[in-house]
Amino acid sequence: MKDIKKAILRGIPSEIPAKRTLNKNISHAPKRKDILNKEEKQLAIRNALRYFPEHMHAVLAPEFAEELKTYGRIYMYRFMPDYEIKARHMEDFPHNSKQAAAIQMMLSNNLDAAIAQHPEELITYGGNGAVFQNWAQYLLCMQYLAEMNDEQTLVLYSGHPMGLFPSHKDAPRVVVTNGMMIPNYSKADDWEKFNALGVTQYGQMTAGSFMYIGPQGIVHGTTITVLNAARKIDPKAEDLSGKIFITAGLGGMSGAQPKAAVIAKGVCIVAEVNPRATYKRHEQGWVDEVYKDLDELLDRAIEARTKKEAVSIAYDGNIVDLWERVVDRNIYIEIGSDQTSLHNPWAGGYYPVGMSYEAANEMMANNPEQFKKEVQKTLVRHTNAINTLSKRGMYFFDYGNAFLLEASRAGANILNEKGDFKYSSYVQDIMGPMCFDYGFGPFRWVCASNDAKDLAITDKIACEVLEEIMLNCPADIKLQMSDNINWIKAAGENKMVVGSQARILYADAQGRIKIAEAFNNAIASGELSAPVVLGRDHHDVSGTDSPYRETSNIYDGSQFTADMAIQNVIGDSFRGATWVSIHNGGGVGWGEVINGGFGLLLDGTADADRRLKSMLFWDVNNGISRRSWARNKEANFAIKRAMQMNPNLKVTMPNTADDSLIESLDL
C-alpha cells in the first residue's frame, strides 16, 4: 500500500518510465477513425506533450505519433501505473481530504480491469465511455486528489485536470464536465475529431462521473422494467409470473434480460445469434437453458408458463426465426421487446436472418452493401411478425435500442396512420409514467470501507427504512416500494457485486433522504465501519434530458431542451454534493443527450446530514416539477406531495386547457 500511495503522490514521473506492453488478455478499444489532417495531427501531439517536461519530448513525440497512427488516439500507454487500479478502503488512498479519498476510490473502480470494458484505454463501458482521455490525466488527477484539502475544488475539463482552485468546505471537491460542446459542433464526427485532438471526451452516463458500479445497475433497471410491463398489460399482476417475455440479445446490457425476468418470476425467451455470447451467459448462470430446436424451446416455455415457473431460455439463433415460428404455431405471447444493438445496424449490431453468424460477418466485411440490404429485409420480416403477434394481443415495447427508428428506415410497416411509431418506448410507457414522474429512480451507494459486511448492514438499514415508509405511503407508489423491498432483500443472494461494495435500488425523494439519513446515523454510531458514498445513475428523474429516452414522455415540446439537466447539476453543486458532473452523450449518442449526476460522501457528521437533506430533495424534485409543468399527471401528484412535506417548496403548477376549445380554434 505504501508503494501505491507513493506512486499516486508522485503524479507524472519526472523521468521517463519504461515502455509498457499492452495486456493481450483484456479487451482493447477498436482503432478509431483517422480523422485529423496533418496540421491537426501536429496539434494533437503538441497538446499531448503539454503534460511532460521538455527533456522527454524527443522520446515521446514519435511515440505519440505512432499511437495516433495505430489507434487513432494518444493514450500515453507508457504512463500506465504498474499497481493494480481498483476500489480499496478509502483510507488506503493518500489524502488530506476524506471527500477526495472517496473520489479516488470511486474513479479507481471505474478503471478496474475486472469492470472496465477497455481498461488500458480508460474506457469503462459503452465502447467510448471514458474516465480520462489519457494516462497523464489519470496520474495528475489522482495526485491532485491526494494533495487537496477541503477548501479547494478540482476542476476537470473532459478528463483534463485544470487544477485546484480555492473554494470552501461546502463546495464540491470536484466539478466534472465531459463533452460540453458549442451546439453546432456536437455531431458524431466532432467527437472523433476533438477527442483525437485531446480536448474533449465522451463521458457516457457514469463512466466520466466515477459512478459506474458494474452490471448490477442494469439488472435492477431491467427487473423494474419487466415488472412494470407486466402490470401495464394486467392491472391484477404483481409480477411477471405466468407470462412469457420474448426478446433478443445476450450481450453487454441485453444479457441482463433473462436474469431480470427470472427475478421478476416470469418466463423469458431470448434469442442470441452469437453462440459465444449465448454460452457465456449460460456458463455465468444468467440464462438457465439453451435450445437450438425452436419447437422444443417453445414447448418448454409453454409448460413453464402453465406451471408459473420462473425460467430463462435462450434460443441459439436469430430472433426473426423465433418470432416467425411463434406466429406459425399461433402461440399467445404476453410481452415482446428487442435489445439487439440497432443503434449500430451496419457494423455488427444486428444480424440478418437466413445465414450463419460467420457468414454474416464475412458479408459485413467483404460486401457491406449487400449486408445492409439483408439487414433491412430482416427488419421488415421482424416487424411483420411483431405486428401479427401484437394484433393477437402481445404488448411490444422498444427498449431504447433504436429498433423502431431502424425498422422505419428499412421501410417496415411500423408507422400508424398519423405517421407515429406503432409502439412506444420503455420510458414513454413504463419508466416515465410509472417511476420517474413519481421521483423513483436509480439511487445507489458504495461502502467506502470496501467491506462486504458494511454492504450487508446498509442493505438491512435500507430495507427497514423502505418497509417503514411503505406502512403509510399512498397507494399509487406501493408497488414501486414493494418491488424495491423485495429487491434489497434478495440483493445479497443474487450476488451482483463486482468491484466496489455497491448497491442500487429505486427510491423517491423521501426514500432516498431517509435511507441516506439512516446511513449517516449508522456511521456516526459506529454500526458502519466507514463512510458511504451516495450517487445515482444519470438515467434518472432529473439528471437527463434525452428526447427519445429519459424525457420521451414529456409532450409539451420541451423534450428537446436541456435546462433540467443543467439546472440539476448547478443546484446539486451548491446544496452539498461532494462532486458533480455534466455530460454530452450517453447511451443514445453524442449531441443527442445532456446528462448529469453527483456523488455525496456521508461521513456521519451533522454537515453531511444537512447536505444530504438539502441536495437530495432538490435532486429529485427538480425533475418532478418539470415533468409536472409538462402536464404529466403522476408528476403533478408527486410534486403536490413534496410541497406538503416541505413548505419552502413552491412550484408553478400548470393549468389544463380544454381540448374542445383548442380544437375549435381556427389555426
Q: For residues 269 and 516, which CB has a smaller minimum distance to ligand NAD in the complex?
A: 269
Q: Is the distance from CB of 512 to CB of 524 less than 8 angstroms? A: no
Of the candidates 270, 216, 245, 234, the one whose C-alpha atom is nearest the C-alpha of residue 494 is 216
Provide the b/e sequence for 379-395 (b: ≥16 CB within 10 Å): bebbbbbbbbbeeeebb
Stretch that binds ligand NAD, among 7-15, 27-35, 251-259, 436-444 (CB under 6 A): 251-259
Q: How far apart are CA 332 and CA 244, in angstroms?
A: 9
Q: How far apart are CA 105 and CA 115, in angstroms?
A: 14
Give the one residue of 129, 217, 249, 599 binding ligand NAD; rule: CB under 6 A: 249
Q: How far apart are CA 257 and CA 240, in angstroms?
A: 13
Least distance (Å) between residue 454 CB and ligand NAD: 28
Give the one residue of 248, 304, 410, 562 binding ligand NAD; rule: CB under 6 A: 248
Around Cβ 336, how many Cβ atoms within 10 Å?
24
Q: How far apart are CA 534 and CA 619, in angstroms?
A: 12
Give the one residue of 12, 105, 130, 253 binding ligand NAD; rule: CB under 6 A: 253
DSSP-assigned letters across all residues of 354-405: TS-HHHHHHHHHH-HHHHHHHHHHHHHHHHHHHHHHHHTT-EEEE-SSSHHH
Residues 180-219 that bind ligand NAD (CB under 6 A): 218
What are 109's three cell numbers? Answer: 473502480
Q: Where are the alpha helices (DSSP H) in 16-84?
A: 38-49, 57-71
Residues 73-92 that bind ligand NAD (CB under 6 A): none
Q: For residues 353 and 448, which CB has a smaller minimum distance to ligand NAD in the complex?
A: 353
Give the one residue of 140, 273, 430, 530 binding ligand NAD; rule: CB under 6 A: 273
Is residue 319 involved in binding ligand NAD (CB under 6 A)?
A: yes
Q: Is the distance from CB of 544 to CB of 554 less than 8 angstroms? A: no
Q: What angle do CA 147, 444, 93 make, to 5 degrees?
A: 20
Is residue 350 involved in binding ligand NAD (CB under 6 A)?
A: yes
Q: What angle do CA 97, 98, 102 make, to 5 degrees?
A: 120
Is residue 254 involved in binding ligand NAD (CB under 6 A)?
A: yes
Residues 601-630 that bind ligand NAD (CB under 6 A): none
Of the candidates 632, 554, 543, the one whose C-alpha atom is nearest the C-alpha of residue 582 is 543
Is residue 510 involved in binding ligand NAD (CB under 6 A)?
A: no
Burial class (CB in 10 A: 0-12, 13-18, 19+), 18: exposed
| List of long-range contacts for 324-330, beta carbons under 8 Å, 24+ apart | 324/381, 324/385, 325/294, 325/295, 325/298, 326/246, 326/298, 326/385, 326/389, 327/385, 327/388, 327/389, 329/295, 329/298, 330/392
Least distance (Å) between residue 5 CB and ligand NAD: 36
Q: How far apart are CA 299 and CA 295, in angstroms?
A: 6
Closest residue (Cβ) to ligand NAD? Answer: 251
Q: How far apart are CA 430 and CA 228, in angstroms?
A: 6
Give the one residue of 204, 222, 425, 581 binding ligand NAD; rule: CB under 6 A: 222
Is residue 242 involved in binding ligand NAD (CB under 6 A)?
A: no
Least distance (Å) between residue 139 CB and ligand NAD: 30
Hey, which residues does 315 pair with through a beta bridge? Answer: 271, 291
Is residue 401 involved in binding ligand NAD (CB under 6 A)?
A: yes
Least distance (Å) between residue 580 CB and ligand NAD: 24
Of the candidates 619, 358, 399, 381, the one whose C-alpha atom is nearest the C-alpha of residue 510 is 619
Give the one residue of 221, 499, 586, 623 binding ligand NAD; rule: CB under 6 A: 221
Q: For residues 549 and 641, which CB has a smaller minimum distance to ligand NAD in the complex?
A: 549
Q: For residues 178 and 223, which CB has a smaller minimum distance to ligand NAD in the complex?
A: 223
Q: For residues 127 and 492, which CB has a smaller minimum distance to ligand NAD in the complex?
A: 127
Q: Is the distance from CB of 397 to CB of 423 less than 8 angstroms? A: yes
Is residue 433 involved in binding ligand NAD (CB under 6 A)?
A: no
Is residue 271 involved in binding ligand NAD (CB under 6 A)?
A: yes
Least distance (Å) between residue 432 CB and ligand NAD: 13
**What is the identity of the amino acid at 282?**
H
Q: For residues 96 and 370, which CB has a smaller minimum distance to ligand NAD in the complex?
A: 370
Count of residues that bind ligand NAD according to CB under 6 A: 29
Give the one residue of 11, 198, 258, 400 binding ligand NAD; rule: CB under 6 A: 400
Least distance (Å) between residue 383 CB and ligand NAD: 13
Is residue 274 involved in binding ligand NAD (CB under 6 A)?
A: yes
Q: For residues 108 and 401, which CB has a smaller minimum distance to ligand NAD in the complex?
A: 401
Is residue 252 involved in binding ligand NAD (CB under 6 A)?
A: yes
Q: For residues 248 and 435, which CB has a smaller minimum distance to ligand NAD in the complex?
A: 248
Is residue 351 involved in binding ligand NAD (CB under 6 A)?
A: yes
Least distance (Å) between residue 8 CB and ligand NAD: 32
Residues 322-341 that bind ligand NAD (CB under 6 A): 339-341
Give the one residue of 46, 343, 381, 613 binding ligand NAD; rule: CB under 6 A: 343
Applying CB under 6 A, the residues found at the interface with ligand NAD are 218, 221-222, 248-254, 271-274, 277, 318-319, 339-343, 349-351, 399-401, 587
